[in-house]
Amino acid sequence: MEAVIEVLKSAGIKNKNIQTSGFNVHPIYDYPKGSSHRKPVSPKITGYKVSNSVTIKIIDTDKLGTLLDKLVSSGSNQISRIRFGFNDSQELLDEARKLAITDAGKKAKLYAQTAGVDVGNIISISELDARLPQPVYRHTEMRQAKIMSDARTVPVVSGEQDISASVNVIYELMIRDD
């Protein structure tokens, strides 16, 4: 893990963007032959399996493929849960909320006009769903290993990211005095 962290630091990833996210120690047992109900033989611990995981935040995704190569070369044998997102999604989410309210108003006016009534004041607003970028699901470990062995650097494609908001707006309807 020291070598992995050194690779991350040499790639310019700041300490605040490297976080230990898991450390597990599991015994490895040897189950002797000849154990039965009448003559039980206790298993013996022959070693331990240790896993140490870090979560990192990378700002420059253009260098991600090269970094993944270096991490594997430094001894990392499991890389998973690559996700793409935004540094500050709150501003984008707020913009999506504004657009959702504007869209709700347009639809309310259309429905009201079609029904022969006018839209009045807003009675209530509630947010139904706010969706931040969804994780990009990793390949199976076998497929990931094949991609890594076939490419000069690991191909990484971020694709598009969507942030959306859905609102429920209840309007007062007013009958026309025509």
Which pLDDT score is estimated for 158? Answer: 73
Which pLDDT score is estimated for 144? Answer: 52
In the chain, domain spans: 1-79
Which pLDDT score is estimated for 138? Answer: 43
Burial class (CB in 10 A: 0-12, 13-18, 19+), 68: buried
Domain 1-79 matching CATH 3.30.70.2970: the answer reads yes
Which pLDDT score is estimated for 136? Answer: 43
pTM: 0.56
Which pLDDT score is estimated for 146? Answer: 55
List the chain pLDDT tens, one digit each, 178 residues. 999 999 999 999 999 999 999 999 999 998 877 666 677 778 899 999 999 999 998 888 888 888 999 999 998 888 888 888 777 788 989 999 999 999 999 999 999 999 999 999 999 999 986 665 554 444 445 555 555 455 567 677 777 778 889 999 999 999 988 6
Long-range contact pairs involving 4-13 (C-beta distance under 8 Å, separation at least 24): 4/54, 4/71, 4/74, 4/75, 4/76, 5/54, 6/74, 7/67, 7/70, 7/71, 7/74, 8/54, 8/56, 8/67, 8/71, 11/63, 11/67, 11/70, 12/60, 13/56, 13/57, 13/58
Which pLDDT score is estimated for 23? Answer: 93
